[in-house]
Each structure stands twice: as C-alpha cells, then as structure tokens.
Amino acid sequence: MRYKKVLLVMPPLPNQYGAQASPPISIGYLSEFLTLHNIEHEILDMSFGYTLEDLKAKIKQFKPELIGLTMFGFRRDIPSDLISAIKSKDYDIIIGGPHPSTEGKRTLEEIDADYTLKLEGEEILLGLCNGTPLKDIPGLIYRDGNEIKENPRGPFTDVTKIPFPKYKKFELEKYYRKKIRILTSRGCPYSCTFCSVKNTIGKQMRLRTPESVVEEVKYWGDKGYRDIDFIDDHLLFDKKRVIEFCNGIEKLNIKDLNLSVGNGIRADGVDREILTYMKKAGFRGLSMGVEASNNRMLKLIKKAETIETIENAIKLATEMGFDVSLFFIVGLPYETEKEVKESFKLALKYPVNNVSFYNPVPFPGTELYDYVEKNNLFIVKAPDYLNDMAHFDGPIFITPELPLKKRIKLLEQGKKVEKEVLRRTFVRKMKRFGVLSELSSHIVFLKPIHKTLQRLSAESVFFKKTLIFITNKLNLKLIGSVR
C-alpha cells in the first residue's frame, strides 16, 4: 500500500452561507469506492463553515497520508490557497474535479500539488493507494522530479461496478435540505459550444442498470428521504432503461415521493409515453435546457434540436401536470437583441414554474471560450473571471451583435421575466384562494419584498429551511434562489 489513510476535502465555495443543499455526489462516489476496497478515509465538507484551522486540526487528528481536494471550473483560487496553506512533507495532495479535467498538466504547473487527473477518479485513486507504479495508472498526472508527466487515459470506469454513495462518513444532518441527488449515468454525446461537460465527464455514455437505480431510490426512501433529484447530463439517452427503472420505482410504492430532474432533460427525448412512466414513478419536476428560441441559434450552438421539438416537449410536459423549469442563455455569439427577446416571449408562453436566464460564462476547453479568445472579445481578464463570482451575473464578453450596454439591459430584462414567471406560478398554485391569489402575488413580488426574501434566504440557513418547508407545502417556489 502506498497510502493507507485518505482525507477527502470539499473546499468552501462562496454564496453557500454555511451549508449546502445536499452532499457532494462526486466525493460520495469516491468515498464509497474506497470503502468497497477497505481503504481508511475521512471526509471534510468545508461548506458548513469549516475554516483553514479546522482543516489543519482534522489533518492533525486523522493523520492522512493522502489528501484529495475538489477543484471546480470557478473559484479555483480557494482550493489553491488551501493547498498552499497545508502543504507538507507528511502527506501528498491530489486534485480532482472539473478544472483539472479541463486543464490537465497545467493544473500542476500552477499549483503545488503532487497529483491531478482528468475525468473519473475512482480507479486512479485506488491505484495510487494500492501502490501501482505511477506510470501504470491510466489518466494520472504526476510529478517525476522536475518534470510533470501525464499518462494516457484508459477505458472509462465501469459504472455498474461502482456502488452508489451512502454518505456514511458525511454529516448528513447538516445539509439544509433533506434531498439526495442521484446519478444514473455518466457522459453526454453532444457538442454544445458553451458546455464543458464533454471535457469534465466525457462524451461516451456509461449507464447504470435499472435495478441499481431502483435499489438506490429504495435505500434513501427507507431512510425517510422523499426528495430525490436525478442529475444526469442525458437521462433519456436510453428510454427503455428509464422505463424499466420507473416501473421498479413505482412498485416500491413510496408514499409522497418527489422525484425531479434538476440538471435538465433533452427535449428530443420527451414524448407522452416516457412522461407517463416518469409521472407514475413519482417525477414531479422537469428541467429543460432551451438555451435559445430559434433554429438559427440552436444550429450555431450545436444543440442538435429544433425549436419545434423543444416547444412540443414544453407544451406536453406542462399539459401533463409537471412542474417545468426552463434554462436560457442570453447573448451567445451571433445572437441578436431580437432573438433574445424571442426567448423572453417563449419563457412566458407556457405555464412553466420557473425560468432562468443565464449570463454566458466561457469555460476553458469549450468552443465558446475559444471563439471569445480568438476574437479578442473579453471585457474582463481571462480566465481570472472564474475566480470572481460577481462576473457570473454580468457580461464577461461582448459580441458585434450585442455590445456592452445592450447586453446589460437584456440581462436585466431577463431577471424581470424570471420574476414574472414566478409570480404567475404563485397565482396558479394559490388559485384555490380566488382573487386573493392574484392580489397577494403582486404584494409578494413587489421589488423590495422579493429582494428581501432573496437576501434572507441567502444569509440565513434557518430562513432558507423555513421557506423551503412552506413552499414545499404549497408546492411552489417563491423565489428563484430556493432550489
């Protein structure tokens, strides 16, 4: 054995205000894989307000031989600073997550860690712990003297042989929402220009068996969990498989089960048959990535869908009683002001529960990033904007079609549309109160009141929990920040 004791760390991220909604699934899988292979390990999720001193105390108490930290595409400065502060000859450090999956060797050029990796980490972590020669661990990036070496990747991990996370080493009671996220597959075969998934998880689809999905739902149902969110990047890739596990979940007969697809499903996989099976299983909430509202833009961003297909899916899902959320992006390359406003109209066309208009963020490794960099369109320093979350709400680049002032104005209009969709949802959900529902909606969504609700939800975990409880009882979302 090279490493007998491993400490896995989730660094703190901004805007989480002391707690996360649910445990991080990536570390959950690593923990379960280490448990399967009898490797001693501990978990520290620093999002609960744990400080650098708490991390140092954990290291002193547990005495790990290897420490693993997650590094996202944004705020990579946080884990980088942690590594600088805890670096020691007493243990080695490995970095995993979206950033190293995109940047590869450059991660070790920038940060004084010992190892990093691309894509999946289970087999790499196991090989490191078991003492496999470094040159023989597929996908490992490591230091060899003054040289950084990158091994070619081997086959993707067989997801049917990885147990689902049970989070036994996590502080489950501290997560502010009693909600579990489930991943039934890995990969996405599409090539959307703005999306980094192909770099961070791969294009090849790897599917869990329907039986394992049903087993996972039963496991959490038996523990009293009723809110379960499926976070696949392409859940409906194999509809036969989805139908099989929906049938299995339905047979579990778990009372008040509330399943959702928060990461979104592709509209081209939606039809009445699949939605019928999903509804019987307990799915209530469906998200869809619309991105743009016309075929010209959908083709340019390589969405591989038509607006007709997307609208048919939205219409069908809302008619069948699903709570539908839509995701749009404002101002991708070549998009005009007129086309963005078409997206606003589409967002208001159907009785959906929630819409989000996102400011496009160019992540390194995407076609969007390459286009903006090649054409010198950044208006903030690239890629430093990834370390400042404030940039995620405001323009990062401009295009000939949408200069800065127009871009800012359209993002502001998008926020107004989001608010109006929420107000309409409020009215629909409260319609049993008659005229009072319309009147109260205008009061709740007055700008000062709505902004106060958002601020309190962000600053107070107790308020967030209370608001979630109320909105769950009423089956609606009062504010967009409640997920």
For residues 109 and 148, the answer to whether their CB atoms sit within 8 Å is: yes
Q: How many domains does the chain have?
A: 3
Q: Give percent above pLDDT 90 in the chain.
A: 72
The reported pTM is 0.89
Same domain, 34 and 102: yes
The per-residue pLDDT for 53 is: 97
The residue range of the domain holding 142 is 5-150
The per-residue pLDDT for 392 is: 76
Residues 6+ apart with CB under 8 A from 107: 71, 95, 99, 100, 113, 116, 141
pLDDT in tens, 50-80: 999 999 999 999 999 999 999 987 888 889 9
Same domain, 207 and 224: yes
Q: What is the mean pLDDT of residues 187-204?
A: 92
pLDDT at 35 over 90: yes
> In 359-446, which ranges are continuous DSSP H helix?
367-374, 404-429, 435-444
Same domain, 200 and 86: no
Same domain, 292 and 406: yes
The per-residue pLDDT for 357 is: 96
pLDDT in tens, 139-153: 999 999 999 999 998
For residues 22 and 180, the answer to whether their CB atoms sit within 8 Å is: yes
pLDDT in tens, 108-127: 998 999 999 988 999 999 99
Strand partners, 265: 288
The per-residue pLDDT for 477 is: 46
The domain spanning residue 189 has which CATH number? Answer: 3.20.20.70
Same domain, 127 and 225: no
